[in-house]
Amino acid sequence: MDRKEARKRAKELVSKMTLEEKASQLRYDAPAIQRLDVPAYNWWNEALHGVARAGVATSFPQAIGMGATFDPELLKEVADAIADEGRAKYNTYAAHEDRDIYKGLTFWSPNVNIFRDPRWGRGHETYGEDPYLTSRMGVAFVEGLQGDGETMKAAACAKHYAVHSGPEAIRHEFNAEATKKDMEETYLPAFEALVKEAQVESVMGAYNRTNGEPCCGSKTLIQEILRKAWGFQGHFVSDCWAIADFHMHHMVTSTARESAAMALDAGCDLNCGNTYLHILGAYKEGLVTEDQITESAVRLFTTRFLLGLFDGSEFDGIGYERVECKEHLELSHKTALESMVLLKNDGILPLKKEALNSIAVIGPNANSRAALIGNYYGTSSEYITVLEGIQRYVGEDVRVYYSEGCALSKSRTEGLAVENDRLSEAQIAAENSDVVILCLGLDETLEGEEGDTGNDYASGDKQDLMLPEAQRKLMQAITAVGKPVILCLMAGSDIDMSYAAEHFNGILGLWYPGARGGRAAAEILFGEVSPSGKLPVTFYESLEELPEFTDYSMEGRTYRYMKGKAQYPFGYGLTYSEVRVMAAAAAEEEHGASVRAVVKNCGNMETDEIIQVYIKCMDSAHAVPNPQLCAFKRIHLMSQEETEVVLPIAKRAFTVVDDNGKRYLDGRQFEIYTGVSQPDERSFELTGARPVRVEYTRNFEG
């Protein structure tokens, strides 16, 4: 059923409803209308990295880890698997008349906000700091989730529209001020791509205000940009209880009725929260019209018809056996392998099992389930921590010593013990081992969403880039033992790795790798697979070079605007081999341009590698300061294999944005860089290779 037919059916159905019935359907927990055979429907479901909060489901790596794969094709497969499990759950739950929260087919994912500041606790829900990477990954996720069948497999949601990335503690009252240039250049592109390219079915507004207007009641964002400029046809949903913020925190209205009216008048169709319980009161006061209520109801039922919830669909036969099936578990495993980023290796990796008698696996995240799953997760029927993954891999051939070493953030693991009560055990384990695998980092209790974390002092945000003090003391204690150390960092954001880089032999970033991610970690550590992930965010030397957290100006932020050297740059990540771009040439194409690159694996191990293309406009005053990502492709090469890769560059990559927010073709002289990293000096220091630089003159017009 196409949208035109679905809307026609929706209008027919809604026309039979009373005003009260129509208003009731604008709530996330829409009640049944029995006389019209309309069942109850709960719109609230989550699928950030697997079906969440409704029991067992395949647990994929957290979104930031999926961003690190630089693999949209894989992400589309992941989203298709999630939709499969969502359908399986919906079909079986509905058969039991269970229509509770988290059991519908409208998933409030993906999060395509820009991770502009490393302090933001929810940054790991995103695909990173770059608008182009975020748009490619987001489009793939939406296409995979919604499918291309006769009916929509599941409905995706682009959130949180549009300028939202902390601080969490003040998000309900905060006004994010962004220039028109920053809006068009950084904050809006991913949302635009999801609407125009992927036809995302819904968009969720953010809690904060943007340039004075609350996002869930912004005529600028919802009507002028989303619907008129981009042609969005789906439904708009508020973040949860965000409309209540209008009168409780933003103080742009005085009553709940006024807030409901402001949101509905701006075009917010669905209320996650309870403020739309006041819609009828707002109607009686003349604040909204029946036509407005009707239009939102029609949009919402259009989505339900597109999902085949009234006429049936080709997905009704998907059974519960698809939930956490072998195929999906292997897909999660593959994603975890592709997501892990090797930051440092002095030659210690990969480890050779036959050369080891004993290993020490130490740290608060070594045997932590919480560090596997990030936030917005489902339940796994099995968890494989890093410790368990290593134990399974080496079997009885290698002795594995384990020590927690310290608590995640507290000064002791036992309440009656003295501070640092596990340090001596950690040192003893290290002394008795040939090599130490030190598992440090965070979990959702230290970085996450306001209200969901134990990090009360910052409501889920980080105050700095340092590991907790207890973990820093553990690092020093292990260093003092003098054994080789490999740090496995489990976190969803930039963590200061300066001490580890100086004192440890290897650093492997695992992100939050999914419920069974310890298996993938072991296979990477022991060289079954070469690491191939790339950083989707910048690791900064310090926060001193960044503007205030509340400053939404992009000046000095992310790799595209930063002025100093990164600790570890966006796009950086080592492999166990040595892939190089030997030559590259750019040519004009109908769609814009393309780069043809000769790539060779000069090393001794087969590996995946991410070929990256960056572009810099040289003759426009409005150009982004640094070269920015415009194309990328994951490839696999055997040892000594050489191949040719063609990477298309869209015309949009050649545009600039002026101070009025106008995007257009301006400059004609460009530099295009093709390599395995971005073309900054720090990446050259770390990799020993520079991307191939090509001067290019644009001849095409818009």
Which amino acids are annotated catalytic? 239
* Cβ atoms of 153 and 315 closer than 8 Å: yes
CA–CA distance, 478 with 497 (Å, rounded to integer): 15
Query: And the tokens for 195?
Result: 């609407």
* Cβ atoms of 383 and 369 closer than 8 Å: yes
Q: What sign results for the dihedral spanned by CA atoms 294, 296, 299, 305?
A: negative
Beta strands at 213-214 and 235-237: parallel, antiparallel or unpaired = unpaired
CA–CA distance, 99 with 101 (Å, rounded to integer): 7
* Cβ atoms of 26 and 276 closer than 8 Å: yes
SS3 599: strand
Q: In sequence order, what DSSP letters do the residues of 187-205 get, joined into one string?
A: ISHHHHHHHHTT--SEEEE
Three-state SS string across 324-387, please? Answer: CCHHHHHHHHHHHHHHCEEEEECCCCCCCHHHCCEEEEECCCCCCCHHHHCCCCCECCCCCCHH
The torsion angles phi and psi of 162, rounded to 5 degrees, stand at: -135, -30
Beta strands at 175-176 and 209-210: parallel, antiparallel or unpaired = parallel
CA–CA distance, 259 with 279 (Å, rounded to integer): 9
CA–CA distance, 237 with 25 (Å, rounded to integer): 12
What is each CA distance from 416 to 406, 424, 443, 474, in whole angstroms?
14, 17, 25, 20
- Written as one letter, the residue type at 676 is V
* Cβ atoms of 405 and 441 closer than 8 Å: no
Three-state SS string across 139-165, please? Answer: HHHHHHHHCCCCCCCCECEEEEECCCC
Query: And the tokens for 223?
Result: 């009507």
CA–CA distance, 91 with 353 (Å, rounded to integer): 46
* Backbone conformation region of residue 240, classed left if phi is above 0, alpha if psi is from -120 to 50, else beta: beta
Q: In sequence order, what DSSP letters do the residues of 653-686 get, joined into one string?
A: GGEEE-TTS-EEE---EEEEEEESS-SSHHHHHH
Number of H helices, E strands in the chain: 21, 23
Three-state SS string across 235-261, please? Answer: EEECCCCCCCHHHHCCCCCCCHHHHHH
Q: Please name the residue that has the structure tokens 């030397």.
A: 541
